[in-house]
């Protein structure tokens, strides 16, 4: 079994076993083998990527509504700030931010910083 198939299988088992602390809108990311495991709970993150937001969810937190997340700017925020253009939008930024946090124990783009910069 290749790494991607194994990663998806493992994540699905963890979802079934109730290990994730996020709502069902969070999904398995593309290429989950490229995402590092959370250093606290040991899970690969699930992602919620939609027009107005991008965030992660893992097993850290109290429940599905109060949990730890890493964030990145949404596509609509970028398009709004760049005159309707998605040119140069980094669709891998959430993965970059997650893996950076795992390796360095600090957030590249804390949610409040994004908001303070007019990003969402």
Q: How far apart are CA 9 and CA 66, in angstroms?
A: 26
Per the domain annotation, does 11 fall within a domain? yes
Q: By C-alpha distance, which of 78, 86, 33, 42 is closest to 60?
A: 42
Q: Report the domain count for the chain.
A: 1
Per the domain annotation, does 111 fall within a domain? yes
Residue 92: give the domain boundaries: 3-115
Phi and psi, residue 12, nearest 5° = -60, -40
pLDDT at 102 over 80: yes
Q: What angle do CA 31, 97, 35 make, to 5 degrees?
A: 25
Per the domain annotation, does 120 fall within a domain? no
Q: Could you read off the pLDDT of 10-21 as tens digits, one per residue? A: 999 999 999 999
Per the domain annotation, does 92 fall within a domain? yes
Q: Could you read off the pLDDT of 10-59 as tens digits, one per residue? A: 999 999 999 999 999 999 999 999 999 999 999 999 999 988 889 999 99
Per the domain annotation, does 45 fall within a domain? yes
Per the domain annotation, does 33 fall within a domain? yes
């Amino acid at each position: 079994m290749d790494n991607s198939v194994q990663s998806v299988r493992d994540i699905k088992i963890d979802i079934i076993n109730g290990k994730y602390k996020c709502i069902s809108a969070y999904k398995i990311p593309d290429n989950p083998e490229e995402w590092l495991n959370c250093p606290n709970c040991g899970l690969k993150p699930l992602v919620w990527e939609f027009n107005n937001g991008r965030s992660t969810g893992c097993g850290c937190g109290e429940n599905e509504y109060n949990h730890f997340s890493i964030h990145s700017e949404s596509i609509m925020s970028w398009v709004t700030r760049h005159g309707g253009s998605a040119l140069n939008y980094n669709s891998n930024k959430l993965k970059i931010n997650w893996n950076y946090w795992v390796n360095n124990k600090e957030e590249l783009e804390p949610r409040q910083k994004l908001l303070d910069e007019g990003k969402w």
